[in-house]
Amino acid sequence: MAPVFFTVTAGADGYAVAQTSEGKPVGSPGLPAVAADDAVVLWGPGFGPTNPPLPSGVVLTAPAPLADVSKLRVTIGGREAAVEFAGSTIANVYLINVRVPPGLTPGDQALAATFAGAETPPGVLLRPR
């Protein structure tokens, strides 16, 4: 499975499901915009193996980190976002903690990720201020 960000609209196009580290939704119309250096949590499937590997049917008590986070790159508006943590929380659902990069223009910006050469589909947005 290729990596994909969950969106608040049906299909691949739309605004990313994003929240603050306190769990408050951000980054789409009607919600607060994100600012440079904000910590943002993103969600989606397909971001790769964890360490330790997750056996089927196991309920996690804590997120299992990616086996090699150095293979993950996240960009917002074409600028690299620092990945602070990435791991699986439940069966193939990953949380990715990033820092919003400086210098973004207010308004809709493309959100993208690559993991081990696989890219998220285009059309996912995040709204900085």
**What is the tens place of the pLDDT at every residue in 26-68?**
998 889 999 999 999 999 999 989 988 887 777 777 889 999 9
What is the number of domains present in the chain? 1
Q: Is residue 129 part of a domain?
A: no
Q: What is the mean pLDDT of residues 101-110?
A: 93
Q: Is residue 3 part of a domain?
A: no
Q: What is the structure's pLDDT at 61?
A: 79
Residue 117, pLDDT > 70, answer yes
Q: Is residue 114 part of a domain?
A: no
How would residue 97 be classed by pLDDT, with cut points 50, 70 and 90?
very high
Q: Is residue 44 part of a domain?
A: yes
Q: Is residue 6 part of a domain?
A: no
Q: What is the mean pLDDT of residues 11-27?
A: 86
**0.85 surpassed by pTM:** yes
SS3 track for the chain: CCCCCCECCCCCCEEECEECCCCCECCCCCCCCECCCCEEEEEECCCCCECCCCCCCCCCCCCEEECCHHHEEEEECCEEEEEEEEEEEECCEEEEEEECCCCCCCCCEEEEEEECCEECCCCEEECEC
Q: What is the structure's pLDDT at 60?
A: 78
Q: Is residue 18 part of a domain?
A: yes
Q: Is residue 4 part of a domain?
A: no
Q: Is residue 79 part of a domain?
A: yes
Domain that holds residue 104: 14-108
